[in-house]
Chains A and B, each alone.
Chain A
Amino acid sequence: MIPGPFSYRKAASLEEAIALLQQYGGEAKVLSGGQSLIPMMKFRLAEPAVIVDINRIPGLDAIEERNGILAIGGLVREVALERSPLIRQRYPIIADTAEVVADPLVRNLATIGGNLAHGDPANDHPATMLALRAEVVARGPGGERVIPIDDFFVDTFTTALAPDEILTEIRIPAPPPRSGGAYMKFERKVGDYAVAAAAAFLVLDEAGKIARAGIGLTNVYYKPIRAEAAENALVGQVPSDGLFRTAAELAAQATDPTTDLRGPAEYKRAVARTMTLRALKAALSRAQVA
């Protein structure tokens, strides 16, 4: 399988990249890790006339905490998230997520920015970012804007990014005390997309009740979703197996999966329930030691 011909533009700066995107309009595609785009091009499912390679743009690959947020650059590779001591210690839910994206070789190139900007409901980071109430920073001709994650995923393969905008950073609130999160993915084999996966993030109050809850789901809706009813059911409650089962059931009810080779819709809904339950349990045990 051979990609169709295209024109290659290597951007040295964000300004240059944005100018190129403006110049070529919808004809151009941003090349980040390329691990979704290039396979699509090989099957001629994507035939961009111009490729704007942003990999050489400096400053987009940092992982740092500043002013109460975690900032992850759009070009941060999955492998960097997996191995970052900061991520592993303070944001294990993100390490959970990164290490189940595709396979280890793909993760050496795939970027978190690409994972989000592709708008694929099967990708793993969207659910986690929904659970964490992240913000996406986009840079375009008019400058920078910050998009709440709840507004970011618009449709299948469609995000709030304009064609001439580039995802430069993801911002995540720093974890408060007594908080914890986990991502649980059920895949048929390594390298497969999730049958269903769930991200759960819990903040406990001093009495041990759930003060805040975040639940995001992968590959069970036409776009990545947050299980709002499940979150609401958790808040103010003392965590228990029964409570988590109720929340998992509500999360499952929020899904609308399609039937495909991974299984019938009702099966995926059941797996979403199981993954939510397991993610909540793992999140709680992390919150209890945090």
Chain B
Amino acid sequence: MTTTPIRGLGHPVKRKEDPRFIRGKGTYVDDIKLPGMLFLDIVRSPYAHARIKRIDPSKALAMPGVVDVITGAELEKAGLAWMPTLMSDRQMVLPTDRVVYYAQEVAAVVATDRYTAADAVLAVEVEYEPLTPVLDPFKALEPGAPLVRPDREQKTNHIWHWEAGDKEKTDRIFQEAEVVVSQDLYIPRIHVCSIETCGCVVNYDRATDKLTIWMTSQAPHAHRTVFSLVSGIPEHKIRIISPDIGGGFGGKVPVYPGYVIATYAALKLGKPIKWIEDRSENLQADSFARDYHIHAELAATRDGRIRAMRVHTVADHGAFDAAANPSKFPAGLFSVCTGSYDMEAAHVAVDGVYTNKPPGGVAYRCSFRVTEAVHTIERMVDILADELGMDPAEIRFKNFIRPEQFPYKSPTGWEYDSGNYPATLQKALDAIGYQELRREQAERRARGELMGIGISTFTEIVGAGPSHTFDILGIKMFDSAEIRVHPTGSAIVRIGVQTQGQGHETTFAQIVAEELGLPVENIIVEHGDTDTAPYGLGTYASRSTPTAGAATAVAARKIREKARLIAAHLLEVSPDDLEWRDYAFRVKGAPDRFKTMQEIAFAAYTNFPQGLEGGLEAVCYYDPPNLTFPFGAYVCVVDIDRGTGQVKIREFLAVDDCGTIINPMIVEGQIHGGLTMGMAPALFEEIVYDENGTMLTGTFMDYLLPTAMETPHWKTDKTVTPSPHHPLGAKGVGESPTIGAPPAIVNAVVDALSHLGVRHIDIPITPAKLYQILVEKGVAE
């Protein structure tokens, strides 16, 4: 019997993927080099809206080392000038007559090396006739606005209208409400900026007629299906390999034109093609996140009981609706905006709009549009507290969904699986010394200092999702796992989701270790290769643990059921006489008669009972019965510099509840990272355009990613409320802090100024923006 520890659920197992990364031996897309490989680089539009009058590639083609220049006209002949988006819109691969956003792909050059390709991009001559761009989504909806998409039948910039909740009931409550508060909130356009940009290497092997694409993909199987549909190449002739991914955060879910052009070039030229974006291309043209113009209202009683919520949002999608949402949810899960609070009714309406900006609407380390939802409700609750003169903690306790109300049906139709909101908030308040902070704040105010305390008690919604409701382009959002136990008791796990840093190679091994009683060291996890991994929808929206994690547990349990039969055979007892305890099948009443999984595995290949198939493996395609609802309570303390408008986060405590924890070390790391990506748009990041639609924040000099100096030392704690429907009780965690942190920070800043009559500030709260408020309120130094 092995003495190696199992180290299943709950152990801070050091990551299995790290030995290669710390040696510089990871394989990211740009590390792949094939014989005869050519480099593709892209000519981009200097205009947000223009007619293309002429593209002259002759000077570029005359340069030594330049192999080809590809234009939209050529792609059109191949039927590839347009491609479908994940939201069933269509998007230009290369334009045939017009460009509709700044930095849009205009043509592609192929050359023998990246330096020559870069030179050739500058040599392609393009003549444009500038057109008036429309950049403001409200102006885009006005009659006579320039049309972003004349290719559509509908001659309007309006894309779709979507609603959730009970409008009539909500309106009725608002009419009779004792107190109504309302606020406009703008959640600006931001960009995920994984440190690795996007790119691919495409190889077409004529001998085997097989197309292999290494690409920065968070969803390789879904991408294979899209590639097959776009190109007409049978799906078994396409292999997509998502190698090591240098961060995803949602930005590697869409299919970008560069992938398609590189694939076309590889097929046309019969040579391997590499395309790797520059950072500025990545920032300027790849999918954005957020860009929600929100009008929100709360109706309440005078004593602070929230009765209803009403929200109308205009969603700026840029020139193509290339969001990555489940098909039935064009505004994602935004309707979860009633948050952690029990109310009688809610109504949410969203209108999608085209503008002359890059396409998208992807997530930024958040489940589909949940950041927008959480920001709305967590700000509105504070605004209501301010209106009523209540403490922000008190109003939350008063309105929380109570623990005994779970499973809780929300007014917009979601069924929250489990939660204990008061306990989590109380833990956070006690740990940070809330009352003491309030006393300190009063003292400082008396001295003219500006200090604020902000609370956010968010509910996240992750793990899309149940197949009855969730699909992308019709593909149901189940996920998968396949486990094979080898004769000597080690195992391989293949999963349909794709890590970009989340540590799947470790946590999924821990799940199998726990379920099968095999040491975690003896389990290898593979993913990201569509030729070997089972079909899955990919990793985003914190869905891996809720879906593929569940699939892995269920597949392991299938194996265990077969193992029971083999153990019974070995122990010469009936299967019913066995119980699975302490990682072995033991004879009931005689626990020292047992067989370990290692012994059973060997028998599965050498000594299995008659009538049973040999081998020990299982597959599960898991269709979750519901989503999971992680939650948390965050408290942020800020000081404001009256001479510069700078916000300094003095302290930030995050108490998270993500259900059962698989690896506490990884969970904590995810929370640290998520908090940082929550702070970034709250204080630093924003994509800004000038009046011509030119992006002003197209490099890391202007799009401000926080360094270690701007990032506080995050403090974390937890409560554990397992999901009742997930096989492990786990909920998913990677994005909770990204959605929970921004309102905690904004609430803290507004709290610091609330005595001056400040009720709301849109993010990012830049020093310049805040200083202007200090001036207006007469407190600037």
Interface residues of A (CB under 8 A from B): 1-2, 4-5, 44, 103, 186, 188-192, 195, 261-264, 267, 270-271, 274, 277-278
Contacts and interface: CB of A to CB of B under 8 A. Distances in A.
A262 B646 CA distance: 12
Contact of A1 (B280, B646, B697, B780): B280
Given A4-B119, A261-B688, A270-B780, A188 B767 contact: yes
B119 A189 contact: no
Contact of B643 (A188, A192, A278): A278
Given A186-B646, A267-B772, A2 B766 contact: no
Nearest to A264: B768
B710 A189 contact: yes
Q: Is the interface of A mostly helix, strand, loop or mixed?
A: loop
Contact of B118 (A2, A271, A277): A2
12 contacts: A189-B704, A189-B707, A191-B707, A192-B701, A263-B767, A263-B771, A264-B768, A267-B645, A270-B775, A270-B780, A271-B767, A274-B643
B195 interface: no
A32 to B, nearest CB: 20
Contacts of A277: 643
A238 to B, nearest CB: 23
Contacts of A191: 701, 707
Contact of A261 (B643, B644, B702): B702
B772 A261 contact: no
B658 to A, nearest CB: 30
B501 to A, nearest CB: 23
Contacts of B644: 186, 195, 271, 274
B189 interface: no
Contacts of A192: 701, 704
Contact of B709 (A189, A262, A270): A189
Contacts of A186: 644, 646, 767
A64 to B, nearest CB: 32
Nearest to B780: A270
B715 to A, nearest CB: 22
Nearest to B279: A1
B37 to A, nearest CB: 17
Interface string B89-131: 0000000000000000000000000110011001000000000
A267 B771 contact: yes
Contacts of A2: 114-115, 118-119
Nearest to B697: A261
Given A267-B772, A270-B771, A277-B643, A188 B704 contact: yes
B768 A267 contact: yes
A8 to B, nearest CB: 15
B613 interface: no
B56 interface: no
B196 to A, nearest CB: 16
A188 B766 contact: yes
Q: Is the interface of B mostly helix, strand, loop or mixed?
A: loop
A35 to B, nearest CB: 13
Contacts of B118: 1-2
Contacts of B414: none
Contacts of A4: 119
Given A2-B115, A274-B644, A263 B768 contact: yes
A261 B707 contact: no
Interface residues of B, number: 31
Contacts of A278: 643
A262 B688 CA distance: 12
Interface in B272-301: 278, 280
Nearest to A267: B768
A-B pairs, 3 with minimum CB distance:
A263-B768, A274-B643, A2-B118
A195 B767 contact: yes
B664 to A, nearest CB: 31
Nearest to B706: A189
A188 B697 CA distance: 14
Interface string B436-465: 000000000000000000000000000000
A2 B116 CA distance: 9
A263 B766 CA distance: 9
Contacts of B119: 2, 4-5
Contacts of B697: 261
A190 B708 CA distance: 9
A267 B773 CA distance: 11
B470 interface: no
Given A189-B684, A267-B767, 13 more contacts: A1-B280, A2-B118, A186-B644, A186-B646, A189-B710, A191-B707, A195-B644, A263-B766, A267-B645, A271-B643, A271-B644, A274-B643, A274-B644
Nearest to A262: B768
Nearest to A5: B119
Contacts of B665: none
B576 interface: no
A190 B709 contact: yes
A271 B775 CA distance: 12
B696 interface: yes
B781 interface: yes
Interface string B627-640: 00000000000000
A102 to B, nearest CB: 10
Interface string B692-723: 00001100011011110110000000000000
A109 to B, nearest CB: 17
Contacts of B696: 261
Contacts of B771: 263, 267, 270-271
Contacts of B645: 267
Most chain A C-beta atoms within 10 Å of own C-beta, residue among B684, B701, B710, B768: B768
Interface string B677-701: 0000000100010000000110001
Contacts of A5: 119
B717 to A, nearest CB: 28
Contacts of B702: 261
A190 B700 CA distance: 12
B714 to A, nearest CB: 18
Contact of B707 (A44, A190, A270): A190
A188 B684 contact: yes
A188 B764 CA distance: 12
A183 to B, nearest CB: 15
A274 B645 CA distance: 11
Nearest to A260: B696
Contacts of B766: 188, 263
A249 to B, nearest CB: 12
Contacts of A103: 707
Nearest to B703: A261
A189 B645 CA distance: 14
B247 to A, nearest CB: 19
A20 to B, nearest CB: 24
Nearest to B696: A261
B295 to A, nearest CB: 27
B103 to A, nearest CB: 13
A186 B648 CA distance: 13
B688 to A, nearest CB: 6
Contacts of B772: 264, 267
Contacts of A262: 768
Contacts of B701: 191-192
A191 B646 CA distance: 16
B686 to A, nearest CB: 9
Contacts of B688: 261
B41 to A, nearest CB: 9
B781 A274 contact: yes
Most chain A C-beta atoms within 10 Å of own C-beta, residue among B119, B645, B688, B780: B645
Contacts of B710: 189-190
A4 B780 CA distance: 47
Most chain B C-beta atoms within 10 Å of own C-beta, residue among A4, A188, A191, A192: A188
